[in-house]
Amino acid sequence: MFGLALQGGGALGAAHLGVLRALTEASLLPEAIGGTSAGSMAAAAYAWRGKLSDVEELFADVRQMGARLLDLNVSGLLKMAGHWFARRELNYLGVFKGNRLERLMDDHLEGAMIRDARMPLVIPSVDLVSGDLILYASRPPAERGPDHWELDVPLSAAVRASVSIPIVFVPKPQAGELLVDGGVLMDLPVSPVTRMGADRVMGVSLTVEGEDSSRPDDVVGVARTMIKAVGKQLERQQRRHATYVLDVILPRGNGMFSFDNMDEFADIGYETAMRAMPEMKAAFSRTVPVSSRAITSAIGASARFGG
């Protein structure tokens, strides 16, 4: 079974749409899929009915709404300010509430439960109460492990939990849990896709050119940088589980809120996948899984961006 694991990245996640377009054109269709944060949005929309058009329509709406998707947590900010001036303990959970994004997902997915997905789907999140990795899945895993699996949740709620970057978004409360971005522990969910039954998994990793040397200049940047620092170490472990890793390199200066450039990100994802298609077809036409080594396709950005 061919599986696909999609990394997070906010608006950068539109690159996943381009990768899915390329795979569709090449008739290299995933039979199982997983995604974290923005990757969970693409994974959920695709797994729901197995249609590329659902992903296209979702990301078109995200691009059109842009910053209007970010519903400011005004009451939380005012409460924090009051506590600050009163020198009381700060009680502050996030800049944005995340409710608009969850409603958008629910509208596109027509209120579907995660078990309604037409293919194996897994979406990671992290519970701040227990510290556990929570794996929302459309069906029981083929291989059980120590992680906590949830099979009975609205698909939009699973996505909302996975996109909740700490400090940036208010955590998603769910059945006594307080859920945040799966990228805290698993930004590239290769092994969960394997445990859903895939014997060959392609990871799609998103990188902004020069981001390793950039300095965060606001609270959102600090939060994302903290997660990235931990995530890079954990990603290396996940890459070892992959049959193939496609590295999509996006232009310098872009970030998780670069909504206006989402069409460009999708084009870059498509072009990167098409250039690597001969290698990908070779990797996934095998009858024996190549889990012992990850073949990494790092398509240089110099031709496109003059680097």
Higher pLDDT, 294 or 270: 270
Structural element, H or E, at residue 2? strand 2-6
- Tell me how far apart the alpha carbons of residues 64 and 49 are, in angstroms, rounded to a whole number: 23
Instruction: Give pLDDT tens digits for 285-303.
Output: 754 344 333 344 433 333 3
In this prediction, residue 118 carries a pLDDT of: 94
In this prediction, residue 231 carries a pLDDT of: 64
Beta strand extents in 18-108 (DSSP E only): 32-35, 94-96
Average pLDDT, stretch 268-294? Answer: 76
One-letter amino acid of 268? I
3-state class of 76 per DSSP? helix
80 pLDDT tier (thresholds 50, 70, 90): very low
- Give the percent of the chain with pLDDT over 90: 51
The burial class, CB within 10 Å (0-12 / 13-18 / 19+), for 234 is middle
Relative orientation angle of helices 99-108 and 52-65, to the nearest 10 degrees: 150
Average pLDDT, stretch 178-184? Answer: 78
Instruction: Give pLDDT tens digits for 206-227.
Output: 999 987 655 655 555 665 666 6
- Tell me how far apart the alpha carbons of residues 86 and 94 are, in angstroms, rounded to a whole number: 20
